[in-house]
Amino acid sequence: MSPEDSAAVSLTDKTVDGDWKRVHPASPFVRGWVALAAVGFFFGRDAFERMLQGRDFVDPNLSGRVPWLLAGGAVVLLLTVGGFILNWYFTRYQVAEGFVRVNTGFLFKQQRQARLDRVQAIDIVQPLLARIFGLAELKFEVADAGESAVRLAYLPIDQAKQLRATILARAAGVVSEPGSSQEIPEAPEHVVLSVPPGRLLGSLLLSEQTVGILIGAAAVVSTSVVLDNTAIFLALIPGILGIGASYWSAFNKGYNFTAAISPDGIRLRYGLLDTQAQTLPPGRIQAVMVRQPPIWRIFGWYRMHVNVAGYGAAGNSEGAARTMLLPVGMKSDVLRMMSLVLPDPGVEDPESVFVAGLEGLAPAQASHTSTRADGFTTTPRRAWLLAPLGWRRNGFLATGTALLIRSGRWWRTLVMVPHQRTQSMALHQGPLARRFGVADLVLHTTAGPVMPRVFQAGVAQAVELFDQQAARARAARKRQTSEQWLAQVAPQAPEVAAAAQPGQAIQAEQPRTLKQEESHDG
């Protein structure tokens, strides 16, 4: 990571412009309530247990030591609270000179900073305790796989929303006077879709995880019957608790999922106890994946994931939730979200192209050419032994603005990569692929759940795609219009688009040059 993007450096209190501000005074207590609870538990556990048992509140054998114990507890409590107060006093933030800076520490001072024009996404996070106090954490990412997320915890919710709007607007190129600290109001929004709780619950019960659990349970029951040993069920208790926690986490994260569009990006809100509000500028989305498990096909459900610079590989439940563009939705919901992520699909009939990517299948009696009527170039028939079920699905289609890759007969998958987000490519060919005259083309974007890969294309088609995609990526970076996405989706939300017209708060960013865009993606 370069020092100008995000860094931890020694801190001075001198600033060029903009005022330093402090987080809410209750912030350290919201963050550190576990420490207070631990102090209370350590010093009060014995007395609490004695009270429940109906005995004396204080052990008679310790009556002479009670003042010392109380004094020791008071000292520990004062030290803990004093640490909280010092932590709050020395935690400050500033938005100035195109940077956001956060000061922390009173013994070892640090300053984290990030450039506003490198902001990839901004989240407002509200754990349950923070919601009770009306506070929120502001977290935003830059392009470094999630290691330099700058966090402001905690701010009053209205202040957090306003600050998020200011950062996003300045990152988008809002014109302001030099040295001005003018705060920009939150941009209006238009709700595009929401996920009903019943559908979310049904998607969890009919997920691949549920099928695996049922198969495992059947195996355990069969084993216990054969061995006539019921003790095996006791060993499953930790696993059952873990499975229950996993389902609860997924439901808690996906509950009340809502997607909206605004001049500063796509806004996603979700959460039952802990709520989170993300703002994703569409120009920062690197790749999109639509997936449909076999059981979901009965109900016509799909899920969508994205790669966003700064979110990383999403190796935990929090990361998986943050890269989720749609937890479960119908085909119409998928097409609506695709229209936001890629407002200009680069084809005359985008709906038919997307539907072919989601459901398309080459005819069983394939001709000598691998290019089908729906436009997708699929695996040649000669290589059907490499993927007996999937060769008719595996294929790709390059439009004027993106590369679409479909795969999977049972687990249907459609991956979409905007041309300007193709960072590098590689051709892969193993011994069997060489024998059947096919090769895989891998596209490299930022780390995330989406891994674009064209499976088993004919060698000639793969090499041709490699050359053409490199040229398309260069040309797309030169014209780079993805940041001006709102004008293309304006028919879906005219009242939002009106707020983004010249002379209003939000002004579109000028297209970047090739050199600038490569630096941004880097």
Parent domain of 396: 286-521
Residue 377 belongs to what H/E stretch? Answer: strand 377-378
Whether 303 is covered by a domain: the verdict is yes
Q: Name every residue whose Cβ is closer than 8 Å to that of residue 349 and which is 6 or more positions away in sequence.
A: none
Whether 391 is covered by a domain: the verdict is yes
Among 17-31, 60-74, 378-392, the range with the most confident prediction by mean pLDDT is 378-392
Question: Are 227 and 333 in the same domain?
Answer: no
Question: Are 246 and 293 in the same domain?
Answer: no
Residues of the chain above pLDDT 90, percent: 27
Q: Which of 254, 277, 294 is the last residue of a domain?
A: 254
Question: Are 418 and 495 in the same domain?
Answer: yes
The dihedral of CA 405, 318, 520, 425: what is its sign?
A: negative
Helix count (H) and strand count (E) of the chain? Answer: 16, 22
Whether 66 is covered by a domain: the verdict is no
Question: Are 297 and 375 in the same domain?
Answer: yes
Question: Are 458 and 416 in the same domain?
Answer: yes
Question: Are 227 and 328 in the same domain?
Answer: no
Tally of CB atoms within 10 A around 73: 15
Whether 172 is covered by a domain: the verdict is no
Inform me whether the pLDDT recorded for 175 exceeds 60. Answer: no
Whether 281 is covered by a domain: the verdict is no
Using pLDDT thresholds of 50, 70 and 90, give the confidence band for residue 270: very high
Among 12-21, 87-96, 163-172, the range with the most confident prediction by mean pLDDT is 87-96
3-state secondary structure of 330: coil
Q: Mean of the pLDDT values across residues 15-41?
A: 70
pLDDT for 383-437, tens place per residue? 999 989 889 899 999 999 999 999 998 899 999 999 998 989 999 999 999 999 9
Q: Mean of the pLDDT values across residues 37-61?
A: 62
Whether 473 is covered by a domain: the verdict is yes
pTM of the complete model = 0.76
pLDDT of residue 467: 94
What gap in Å lies between CA 491 and CA 298, rounded to an integer?
32
What gap in Å lies between CA 418 and CA 441, rounded to an integer?
16
Using pLDDT thresholds of 50, 70 and 90, give the confidence band for residue 195: very high
Q: Which of 134-138, 287-291, 437-441, 489-493 has the lowest mean pLDDT?
A: 489-493
Q: Which of 206, 231, 254 is the last residue of a domain?
A: 254
Whether 291 is covered by a domain: the verdict is yes
Of 370, 376, 397, nearest in space to 458 by CA: 370
Question: Are 292 and 243 in the same domain?
Answer: no
Q: Which of 133-142, 451-460, 462-471 has the lowest mean pLDDT?
A: 133-142
Question: Are 301 and 205 in the same domain?
Answer: no
Q: Mean pLDDT for the chain?
A: 77
Using pLDDT thresholds of 50, 70 and 90, give the confidence band for residue 52: low
Question: Are 249 and 335 in the same domain?
Answer: no
Whether 342 is covered by a domain: the verdict is yes
Q: What distances in angstroms separate CA 427 from CA 396, 405, 463, one per listed residue? A: 15, 15, 8
Inform me whether the pLDDT recorded for 515 exceeds 90. Answer: no
Question: Are 485 and 399 in the same domain?
Answer: yes
Question: Are 211 and 297 in the same domain?
Answer: no
Inform me whether the pLDDT recorded for 297 exceeds 90. Answer: yes
Q: Which of 254, 278, 298 is the last residue of a domain?
A: 254
pLDDT of residue 465: 94
| Domain total in the chain | 2
Of 111, 79, 74, nearest in space to 94 by CA: 111
